[in-house]
Amino acid sequence: MKTDIEIARAARLSPIVEIAAKLGIPEEALSLYGRHIAKVDPERFDGVRRPTGKLVLVTAISPTPAGEGKTTTTVGLGDGLTRLGRRAAIALREPSLGPCFGMKGGAAGGGMAQVAPMEAINLHFTGDFHAIGAANNLLSAMLDNHLYWGNELGIDLRRIFWRRALDMNDRGLREIVSSLGGVSNGFPREDGFDITVASEVMAVFCLAIDLADLERRLGAIVVAQTRDKSPVTAADLKAAGAMTVLLRDAFAPNLVQTLEGTPAFVHGGPFANIAHGCNSLIATRTALDLADIVVTEAGFGADLGAEKFFDIKCRQGGLTPSAVVLVATVRALKMHGGAERRDLGREDLGALGRGFANLDRHLANLKRFGLPIVVAVNRFETDTAAELAAVVAHCRAHGVEAHGCDHWAEGGAGAIDLAEAVARTVDLPRSGSHFRTLYADEVSLVDKIRTIAQDIYGAGTVEFAPRAKELLAEWQAVGHGHLPVCMAKTQYSFSTDPAKLGAPEGHRVAVREVRLSAGAGFIVAICGDVMTMPGLPRHPAAEQIRIGEDGFTVGLF
């Protein structure tokens, strides 16, 4: 059986100008990166805009090592809709180098349901992440430079919040001391790095609607406080303009294609366990202006990615999704039901039935947002007919349509039933009309955190570290109380303990730290042991990645 990268290399891709033409994008609106990648300038095709398309979110049950397949399902669904004659496009996040060289491997889909060119997308692509890291670290450099040259703003060195960024897993950089080496190197202080996808610059990049909004949001980033606790922003450091210049070219959405030629916008990439987990708003809006149906995804399980998609991205971007696709697999459900990974290839209706608790919690959570749901059962070759039938019947008993999918093996043809169900759903006159967010703007920051933890995670209690509680009260008092909350926690469980699979209830959610992302427009609540700079596993994927004798990369996936 061919690997994903072998399948991608064997594919015959269309020139990107032809893919753009499917959406009515003129060639003069494209900046070409070779034959198969382009940046799109949304300001240069006003004449071809169409009525806003229907937006479909793909999310999933809680992830397990057994695999769920949100990206492959997003791609397969997009290709299935195209096969039905619908003017479809997909919108995905860009992969981070950290997971690609860590434990996850590539993030461009898999099998016959991929976006391409796979190697370029998984590696440097169009340089967007490098630009975001550079903008982040320019702000760091200007902050330290300001301190060196007299600290005119009166920044309190004990109250500096801004951290540097690197798009690689490196636990050794989580907490550091900078500016060592003497007077000429500045004032030594505690510092640290986040992975680029957790940077506020990434969040700003993905939520800004145009370059003016991008510069405004960058300027609003709070980097530190003075001794009287007054905020010091990137605008105060006169950094926002230069940061915007670094991001200008990156800010244009990237256009690529699926293996079947469906247009795909791949742009931005915040993680969903430590950031808001959605591709850029400008890419989503561009796709909606040009396609009848746009399929997008939000990272990790629905408790993380979907909640943030609804409560942060849709709230800030004025988006009204029409439907949700919840991806599940028999294998993952059996793991949530207590089956060992080595036993997942054997039929086990008992473990599957126990695993339905995880599926049911996600279905109940998604129903809180008022949208119709379709379940995609992403098939593996070891799934038995009885297991698949049990999942479909269980969903039907809960009033939800479910369809088995074979897009990994068959591409769009393997997702036709799912595509037909989604098309029927979004074509309903009132699809999406009951969409609502989980909480109102005026709810306090503390109560927003409690609402997510108790209503979505099933927590019994929420505990705040003293400093976290103090900061939330401070931000509430100075006018940030209307902001939504971005929860940072493990993706593997509804709780903050990654070992608690299924649907744990009554657990404790400990908020150990909070961060103000004033430019992005949300508050980050860091829970449990989650890290904003991941580490590499004992045997990282990088150990197997190399250039083969034929000159091609091997081991990337």
Share of the chain above pLDDT 70, in %: 98
**Structure confidence at residue 51 (pLDDT):** 67
Q: Is 72 a catalytic residue?
A: yes
Confidence of residue 420 (pLDDT cuts 50, 70, 90): very high
Q: Are residues 240 and 293 in the same domain?
A: no
Q: Are residues 212 and 268 in the same domain?
A: no
Rounded to whole angstroms, the Cα distance separating 286 from 369 reads 24
Q: Lowest mean pLDDT of 245-259, 340-354, 457-471, 536-550, name the range.
A: 536-550
Q: Could you tell me how far CA 300 lies from the centroid of its own chain?
A: 8
Asked whether residue 548 is domain-assigned, the answer is no
Asked whether residue 433 is domain-assigned, the answer is no
β-pairing, 189-191 with 176-178? antiparallel
Element (H, E) at 57: strand 54-60
**Structure confidence at residue 307 (pLDDT):** 97
What confidence tens digit (pLDDT) does each residue in 275-321 have? 889 999 999 999 999 999 999 999 889 999 999 999 999 999 999 99
Q: Is 262 a catalytic residue?
A: no
The residue among 345, 356, 299, 297 whose CA lies nearest residue 66 is 345
Q: Are residues 271 and 351 in the same domain?
A: yes
Q: Is 104 a catalytic residue?
A: yes
Which of the residues 54, 93, 334, 361 is marked catalytic? 93
Alpha-carbon distances of 460 from 164, 455, 513, rounded to whole Å: 36, 10, 19
Query: The dihedral of CA 306, 309, 310, 312: what is its sign?
Result: positive
Which of the residues 70, 86, 164, 489 is marked catalytic? 70
Q: Are residues 376 and 261 in the same domain?
A: yes
**Structure confidence at residue 136 (pLDDT):** 98
Rounded to whole angstroms, the Cα distance separating 455 from 441 reads 17
Q: Are residues 305 and 417 in the same domain?
A: yes
Rounded to whole angstroms, the Cα distance separating 536 from 45 reads 43
Rounded to whole angstroms, the Cα distance separating 253 from 31 reads 10
3-state secondary structure 276-320: CCECCHHHHHHHHHHCCEEEEEECCCHHHHHHHHHHHHHHHHCCC
Q: Is 54 a catalytic residue?
A: no
3-state secondary structure 1-42: CCCHHHHHHHCCCCCHHHHHHHCCCCHHHEEECCCCCEEECH
Q: CB-based contacts of 551: which residues, under 8 Å, 6+ apart?
A: none
437 versus 544: the higher-pLDDT residue is 437
Q: Lowest mean pLDDT of 170-179, 203-212, 542-551, name the range.
A: 542-551
Rounded to whole angstroms, the Cα distance separating 434 from 134 reads 41
Judge whether 483 and 445 are in contact, CB under 8 Å.
yes
Q: Is 229 a catalytic residue?
A: no
What confidence tens digit (pLDDT) does each residue in 351-387 have? 999 999 999 999 999 999 999 999 999 999 999 999 9
Say if residue 117 is preceded by a cis peptide, omega within 30 of 0: yes
Q: Are residues 264 and 385 in the same domain?
A: yes
Q: Are residues 133 and 45 in the same domain?
A: no
What confidence tens digit (pLDDT) does each residue in 114-134 have? 999 998 999 999 999 999 999
Range of the domain at 312: 4-127+250-427
Asked whether residue 95 is domain-assigned, the answer is yes
Give the CA count within 13 Å in the CB-facing half-sphere of 132: 32
Mean pLDDT of 47-69: 84
Confidence of residue 35 (pLDDT cuts 50, 70, 90): very high
Per the prediction, the chain carries an average pLDDT of 93
- Inform me whether the pLDDT recorded for 47 exceeds 60: no
Number of domains in the chain: 3
Q: Supply the angle between the helices 240-247 and 128-148 in degrees, to the nearest 10.
A: 160
Q: Are residues 60 and 194 in the same domain?
A: no
Q: Is 300 a catalytic residue?
A: yes
**Structure confidence at residue 433 (pLDDT):** 79
Looking at 194, 218, 247, the residue that finishes a domain is 247
Neighbour count for residue 180 (Cβ, 10 Å): 10
Q: Is 2 a catalytic residue?
A: no
Q: Are residues 304 and 322 in the same domain?
A: yes
Q: Are residues 266 and 119 in the same domain?
A: yes
Rounded to whole angstroms, the Cα distance separating 313 from 206 reads 9
The residue among 193, 186, 189 whose CA lies nearest residue 151 is 186
- Inform me whether the pLDDT recorded for 48 exceeds 90: no
Confidence of residue 66 (pLDDT cuts 50, 70, 90): confident
Asked whether residue 541 is domain-assigned, the answer is no
Which of the residues 300, 464, 475, 522 is marked catalytic? 300
Confidence of residue 92 (pLDDT cuts 50, 70, 90): very high
**Structure confidence at residue 551 (pLDDT):** 83
Q: Is 125 a catalytic residue?
A: no
Label residue 37 left, alpha or beta by phi (over 0 means left) and psi (-120 to 50 means alpha): beta
Which of the residues 59, 72, 73, 425 is marked catalytic? 72
Give the type of residue at 235: A
Give the CA count within 13 Å in the CB-facing half-sphere of 184: 0
Rounded to whole angstroms, the Cα distance separating 364 from 528 reads 24
Rounded to whole angstroms, the Cα distance separating 283 from 268 reads 9
Asked whether residue 396 is domain-assigned, the answer is yes
Mean pLDDT of 205-219: 97
Rounded to whole angstroms, the Cα distance separating 268 from 273 reads 15
Which of the residues 272, 275, 339, 503 is marked catalytic? 272
Asked whether residue 547 is domain-assigned, the answer is no
- Inform me whether the pLDDT recorded for 264 exceeds 80: yes
Structure-block tokens of residue 107: 């993030």
- Inform me whether the pLDDT recorded for 210 exceeds 60: yes
Structure-block tokens of residue 189: 């202080």
Which of the residues 45, 125, 369, 408 is marked catalytic? 408
**Structure confidence at residue 272 (pLDDT):** 79
Which of the residues 45, 356, 380, 435 is marked catalytic? 380
The residue among 88, 126, 78, 91 whose CA lies nearest residue 252 is 126
**Burial status of residue 12 (CB atoms within 10 A of its CB: 0-12, 13-18, 19 or more):** exposed
Looking at 232, 247, 262, the residue that finishes a domain is 247
**Structure confidence at residue 242 (pLDDT):** 98
- Inform me whether the pLDDT recorded for 274 exceeds 90: no
β-pairing, 401-405 with 373-378? parallel
Rounded to whole angstroms, the Cα distance separating 12 from 334 reads 38
- Inform me whether the pLDDT recorded for 518 exceeds 90: yes
CATH code of the domain containing 491: 3.10.410.10
CATH code of the domain containing 330: 3.40.50.300
What confidence tens digit (pLDDT) does each residue in 315-342 have? 999 999 999 999 999 999 999 999 999 9
Share of the chain above pLDDT 90, in %: 83
- 8-11-17 Cα angle (round to 5): 105
Please give the radius of gyration of the chain, using alpha carbons only, rounded to the nearest integer: 23
Element (H, E) at 517: strand 507-517
> Phi/psi at 377 (nearest 5 deg)?
-95, 100
Mind giving me the DSSP string for 216-283?
A: HHHHH-EEEEETT--EEETTTTT-HHHHHHHHTTTTSPEEEEETT--EEEE-----TTTS--B--HHH
Which of the residues 83, 104, 174, 508 is marked catalytic? 104
Q: CB-based contacts of 322: which residues, under 8 Å, 6+ apart?
A: 54, 55, 56, 371, 372, 425, 426, 431, 432
**Structure confidence at residue 431 (pLDDT):** 73
Confidence of residue 52 (pLDDT cuts 50, 70, 90): confident
Looking at 207, 225, 247, the residue that finishes a domain is 247
The residue among 37, 192, 208, 195 whose CA lies nearest residue 124 is 37
26 versus 65: the higher-pLDDT residue is 26
Q: Are residues 263 and 167 in the same domain?
A: no
Q: Are residues 226 and 261 in the same domain?
A: no
What confidence tens digit (pLDDT) does each residue in 471-510 have? 999 999 999 999 999 999 999 999 999 999 999 999 999 9
